[in-house]
Amino acid sequence: EEPQKRKFLLKISAGNYTEFEPQRMRFHRRDFSLEILNTSREDGRLYEYSVSKGPEEEVWQIQLEVFEPVATPSIWILSQELSNGSCSLALLCTSEQGDQVSYSWESRDNGSSGICSGSGASLNLSYALRGAGFRCVCTATNPVSSRSTAFDSSQCGSQQ
C-alpha cells in the first residue's frame, strides 16, 4: 500500500512560520487566517488544520467550495401574443456564468401587484396593455453573488 502524502501550505513552529506557496497563499498572523490568492476551481478540496501539543495532535478538516459568480442575466421572450388589448408573454431568464444558479422574479414600479412574482428561470405573464407601466426583475443568485436585470412591460410586441 502506498503511503499517504500531504502537501503543506503553511507550517508554524515556535512562533516562526514558513509559507510553502507564498505566491498563492498569504498567512495573516493577527487572526491566524490563510488567504488563497487568485482562487481557482482546483482550490476547491479538503484542507486540514492541525495543532500539535506535546504527544497529542488536534486536527480539523475544512471542505472548501469554489463558486463562479453569476453574470448579469439576460431576459428572452420565448413567445408573445397580442390580442384584444392584452399581452401574453413567456419569458426566460439566463445567466451565462455561475455555479448553482437559482432565479427569482419580482415586480417593480407602479401598481403591478405581484404580476411578476415567481421562482425559476421562466415566467408567464398576461396583462392589459392599456396603462401597463411596470418592470419584471429577474435576479440570478448563487452562494457568492447576485445580479439582476429588468424586463419593461412596454416591450410587448418588440423582438428581443
Extents of the domains making up the chain: 10-63, 74-155
Supply 10's cell numbers.
503553511
Region 125-145: mean pLDDT is 88
**pLDDT on residue 144:** 94
Write out pLDDT tens, residues 4-37.
Answer: 887 888 888 777 788 888 888 888 888 988 888 9
Instruction: For the full predicted model, state whether its pTM sits above 0.75.
Output: no
Q: What is the DSSP letter of 1?
A: -
**pLDDT on residue 94:** 97
Q: What is the dihedral of CA 36, 40, 44, 50, to 10 degrees?
A: -20
The CATH class, in words, for 74-155 is mainly beta
